[in-house]
Structure 1
Amino acid sequence: MTFRYELLRTDPSTGARRGTFHTPHGPVQTPGFMPVGTQGTVKGLTIDQVAGTGAEMILGNTYHLALRPGPETVRALGGLHAMFGWEGPILTDSGGFQIFSLKDINKITEHSVVFRSHIDGAIIDLTPERSIEIQEALGSDVAMVLDHVVALPAEPDEVQMAMERSIRWAERCLNAAGRSDQARFAIVQGGLDVPLRVQCARELSSMGFEGYAVGGLSVGEAPAEMYRITGATTPELPTDKPRYLMGVGRPVDLLESVMRGIDLFDCVMPTRNGRNGLAFTDLGPIKIRNAKHRHATEPLEPECPCLACTRHTRGYLRHLFIAGEMLGPILMSLHNLTYYQRLMQGAREAIEAGTLAEYVAEKKRGWGIS
């Protein structure tokens, strides 16, 4: 079998899972975090630097790569792996999130979502079939189905309509797929309505996808609501397939979701925050531009193996940001991605030891979260 999820251990006191997702480009240890390379690059970093953080799988985006350089250009360059220079697995989002994030420049029908390009105003008619066609040209290991994402809170009728459409679109994506070396992940929708989430999860599970995602969260709802819905959804998903929570999130969100049975995550937060001068640490976030760091000779985190921490002081990092030097955002992005990988490695080790609840409690104490 080309794709296989191997469940190695479950945590006795939570819903957490320790596993390995086997792909044609190598295994992914779970729970794991995927850095976001929306347009063929993890912003500001070389692919070797990304690998150096401990990342095993990265993410690209169908909508943005379809606009530029275009799927045929990516294919001509040897596919995403050759273009990126990345030897490990790649997952591509379907363009469904852009239904939410670019709602002012799109129109949704049962047939497709029609975008007006934010680059040149060109019309893009993205059907479920076209989304899969593009992703097959990109050559990712995992292609996400096209789904209908709505902002929360939303009216119940709108949430139900989007959920039912997502099921229909998922089936169309499955029927359109032709590559045997590319897995398809379905996406569970249903807003904050547990019965809708359960219905969606059960219907999608019956279709035989290689993996399943919980989508439509981290789009305006409170964290407690995200945890509630995640915890209600994962028990309805197959135990022998990977579970992916899309677009999440803060370090605490990752750990809370691991405890609810999630295996994979992605988010722009570590790199976006890093570029803006915020570092994630075990003692909470550090805003490096603050004047108190002007003369600070200690690293961001003494135990962190990243280049920012092993070679540079907080004072120097602050100087880079104040001076507008591009090295500052690069080093902070490296640190944050390394921190997220260390956090997931610690979670994996805790699950193996049967001590995840203690691990999460320790991290939350350090972050000042009760």
Structure 2
Amino acid sequence: MKFVINKQISRDSGRLGQLLIQRGEGAGQLQLRTPLLMQTTKGGSIPYLSGNVFEYVSKEQQPLLLQLTLSTMDQMAESLLQYPSGLSAYVGYPGYPNVLLFRDPCETTPSGGNDRDVVPLYTRHGKGSITAQRYMELMDSFAPDLYQGLCDADTNADSSKKRVQKSVDRTERFMDYCYEQHGKLDRLSKSTLLAPIVGGYSTYARTQSIKHARQQPANSFGGYVLEGFHTNGLSATHLEASKLLPIVKHCVTELDDEKPRMMCGAYTPLMILELVRLGVDMFDTSYAYCAAVNYKALTFNFELNDENGCPKQTPFLDITDDTLKEDFRPLVANCSCLACQKHTRAYVHHLYKTNELLGPILLMVHNLHHYMAFFETIHKSMASDKLSELAKLLNADSTADYSIAKNVKVINKAGMGKGFVSATN
């Protein structure tokens, strides 16, 4: 993988670039624009959507990067060793580049269970423990295009100094082994290792983690993953900008400019714009998923040239609201997604009331379409140096709350799991 900066707009205004990923002999390179929106998956599948439906949603957004997670795919390692066509083809998306991460950004990761030599891995089968040796064996089985190095990222804004320092020390030990094995394992010869940067909300600890990564040989890794800011799931939507952004800015000033920077999690659209401004290059769609499973359709306005734009437009449409039962408008006016073109608010509300599986499918179709269009607008805004105007538009109503609250409404327990589900984030 190579990373090329096409344009540095202006100071604190982000950067436009490209990830160049080689897809096998004779297959050429895929060019992925940054800021990049990775497609979050569960078990290798886009949540609630079949491959055909997802291709319809993303038909104007090719190529895309699949974000896979070990916590939802650990059981596939053995069979992948026998599959010759690669990881993306195995999960039904041949030709798509992929990145394999440790944790699922869509679900809250329980705290605890860390030890000197192991990191807890939470899967649908329960809690397990994984060593650096076992982790690299799994990476060798999966052979992803990009993968995250093993780290202790069990920190957040409330973590003590002692806990933060332990996360840095353990991550250094894990990564020493990962760096060593990455150059030895044959199946990883074409994979790119991403160095995790941990340290909670301590600039001193973050500097220590960055220093350890930068001490490695130049070709040891190809990018950075900034970890340890939240516990995934809905927690990422509630982060305070005044606490997060100074730490990210500190990290960015100490990282290599020629390597991409990734931050995973359900950051709010306003936070995304601030992180892009600071120079973060890669994000994911977990925000769209977290909204969907909590019965919310994304409705925030990001059209800079929309003369009819409504500054009072709320970030979400809560489809559990009974006032929607006779509302025959689309989820968002003028939206071109399948859900808005074919169905109404009243119908999606009816699907919620009856626990029909089509409900979350339509919400995921809309939310992904809306969020991907938002990133297209980010690209256009950066190219014309109007990122600040986009941020101003999203913040037109200073009282608007982009954080996602866990839904606590339940129709009936018998219907759980068949359609809309009770979020566990």
TM-score (norm. length: structure 2): 0.79
For the Cα contact (< 8 Å) 2:155–2:230, is it kept in 1?
A: no
Secondary structure of the corresponding residue to residue 108 of structure 1: coil
Gaps of 5+ in 2: 24-29, 302-312, 402-425
Residue aligning to 1:6 = 4
Counterpart check, 1:300 vs 2:331: yes
Residue 344 of structure 2 is aligned to residue 340 of structure 1:
no
Counterparts of 1:243 and 1:114, CA distance in 2: 25
AA matched with 1:225:
K
* Structure 2 contact 72–123 (Cα < 8 Å) conserved: no
Contact 2:65 2:99 in 1 (8 A): yes
Q: 1:267 to 1:96 in 2, by over 3 A?
A: closer
Is 208-217 or 131-140 further displaced after alignment?
131-140
Aligned AA (1:262): V
Contact 1:243 1:262 in 2 (8 A): yes
Q: Which runs of 5+ in 1 are unaligned?
A: none
Aligned to 2:117: 111
Shift of 1:328: 0.9
User: Does 1:218 find its partner at 2:230?
Assistant: yes
1:166 aligns with 2:143: no
Q: Which amino acid aligns with 1:304?
A: C
Deviations 1:315-361 (A, max 9, x none): 11111111211111001011111122111111111111111111121
- CA–CA distance in structure 1, aligned partners of residues 17 and 336 of structure 2: 25
RMSD: 2.5
Distance, in Å, in 1 between the alignment partners of 2:197 and 2:266 is: 15
Answering whether residue 160 of structure 2 is matched by residue 155 of structure 1, we say yes
Matches within 5 A, 1:118-137: 119=125, 124-137=128-141
Superposed CA deviations along residues 176-220 of structure 1, whole A, max 9, x for unmatched, are: 113221110011111111122122223213323101011111335
Q: Is the 8 A contact 2:149 2:195 kept in 1?
A: yes
What is the CA distance between 1:97 and its match in structure 2?
A: 7.8
Specify whether residues 58 and 310 from structure 1 end up closer, same or farther in structure 2 by C-alpha distance, changes over 3 A only: same
Match of 1:206 in 2: 215
1:330 to 361, 366, 377: 361
Partner of 1:186: 195
Counterpart CA distance in 1 for 2:334 and 2:6 is 28
Deviation at 1:156, TM superposition (A): 0.3
Asked whether 1:239 is paired with 2:257, we answer yes
Q: Tell me the secondary structure at the aligned position of residue 364 of structure 2.
A: helix
Contact 1:227 1:257 in 2 (8 A): yes
| Secondary structure, counterpart of 1:71 in structure 2 | helix
Q: 2: distance between equivalents of 1:50 and 1:236?
A: 38
Calculate percent identity across the aligned residue pairs: 22
Change in CA separation of 1:195 and 1:267 when aligned onto 2, cut-off 3 Å? farther
Q: Give the SS at the match of 2:278.
A: coil
C-alpha separation between the residues in 2 aligned to 1:353 and 1:285?
28
Distance (Å, rounded) in 2 between the aligned partners of 1:129 and 1:7: 35
Q: 1:115 to 1:197 in 2, by over 3 A?
A: closer
Moved more, 269-278 or 257-266: 269-278
1:71 to 59, 62, 77: 77
Q: TM-score, normalised by structure 1?
A: 0.89
Task: Using the TM superposition, give the Cα deviation of residue 60 of structure 1 relative to its aligned residue in structure 2, in angstroms.
Answer: 1.1
CA distance in 2, matches of 1:228, 1:280: 28
Q: Which residue of 1 aligns with 2:413?
A: none
- Structure 2 residue aligned with 1:85: 92
Shift of 1:268: 2.5
1:154 partner amino acid: S
Structure ranking higher in helix proportion = 1
Match of residue 139 from structure 1 = 143
Find the aligned partners of 1:303 and 1:21 in 2 and give their Cα distance.
32
1:197 aligns with 2:212: no
Task: Measure the CA separation in 2 of the matches of 1:280 and 1:117.
Answer: 28
Residue 94 (structure 1) aligned with residue 102 (structure 2): yes
- C-alpha distance in 2, partners of 1:96/1:344? 21
Aligned residue in 2 for 1:271: 289
Query: Is the 1:59–1:91 contact (alpha carbons within 8 Å) kept by the matching residues of 2?
Result: yes
Q: Look up the match of 1:17.
A: 15
* In 2, Cα distance between equivalents of 1:334 and 1:367: 28
Q: Residues 244-288 of structure 1: CA distance to partner in whole angstroms, max 9, x if unpaired?
A: 012242222211211111110125231232133201122311101
Cross-structure match for 2:348: 317
Tell me, what secondary structure is at the counterpart of 1:76? coil
2:111–2:154 contact (8 Å) kept in structure 1: no
Query: Quick one: which amino acid aligns to residue 65 of structure 1?
Result: M
Whether contact under 8 Å (1:245, 1:262) holds in the other structure is: yes
Mapped contact 2:297–2:318 kept (Cα < 8 A) = yes
State the partner residue of 1:257.
Answer: 275
1:235 and 1:117 map into 2 onto residues whose CA distance is 35
| Letter in structure 2 aligned against 1:84 | V
Take 1:263 and 1:93, find their aligned partners in 2: how far apart are those partners?
Answer: 16
Give the Å deviation of 1:116.
8.1
**Offset at residue 114 of structure 1 (A):** 5.4
Q: Secondary structure at the match of 1:65?
A: helix
> What SS does the aligned partner of 2:10 have?
coil
The 8 Å contact of residues 95 and 131 in structure 1, kept in 2 or not, is answered as no
